[in-house]
Amino acid sequence: MRRSYAAAFFVATLCPLVASAQPADPTRDGEARLHFSTGRDAFSRGDFATAVTEFERAYSLSRRAQLLYNIGTTYERLHRWEEARSALQRYLDAVTDAPDRAEVEGRVRIIDVEIQHQSYEPPAAAPPPPPPQIVMVDRPVVQAFRPWQITFWVAGGMAVVSGGLALGIGLLADDRYNTLANTCGQTQSGCNEADISDMRLRQGFVNASIAAAGSFAALTVTAFVCDRLLDRPTTPSQGPMVTPTAGGAVIGWGGTL
């Protein structure tokens, strides 16, 4: 995923704001500034795991609401959407006159779409039927028409195509999300409704492709089982037969009925 240096610069500009307020406890405030500085440097290096830990420590010491913006932004880079939404919403609740409110609210709406997409679960494939009690090994001379075999190959191909579409559209949707997040971070008005609708549409295509791939995969399994159990050759032919019994198996030679 592409990273935004503009977002990192905006995080860094919060340092004077944290330092300018009159501290209630000079010792705790000094420790908070130290953790903030360490987190800011880690963010600039792309070490977001270390950065969010340091920002959390700075917030626990200073309780300055502006740090919640840093925490939420860093969680976004880690794709930890629930934590990112919680931190940004707490920032909006605490800083009622935030000048970047529109931008942050737009990012929260985009995160909501991402959370909804991740909670989607495709339908489970139907389990195959139990195996037959008698197994017959046959070598027919004439290959009969087997419609389930054709269904197996067609459904399997569609499952592969649907899976490829889900992957491709998912990558495009992820790239679009990064573009919107970076664009919203550069403006005071935030993302417009057209951008949010476009993001929802892309996620809908991804979900539909995943559902189609799951359905075709289930049909492929069903066609394979039906081909093995139902589509038997109708032309009589000679071949070996193996019939399981309680004490072993009976091997014989016969024709196909």
Over the stretch 66-122, which tens digit does the pLDDT of each residue have? 999 999 999 999 999 999 999 999 999 999 898 999 999 999 999 999 888 887 666
- pLDDT value of residue 60: 92
- Residue 33 and residue 143: Cα distance in Å, rounded? 79
- pLDDT at residue 165 is higher than 50: yes
- pLDDT value of residue 253: 57
Of the given ranges (63-67, 91-95, 203-207, 230-234), which has the lowest mean pLDDT?
Answer: 230-234
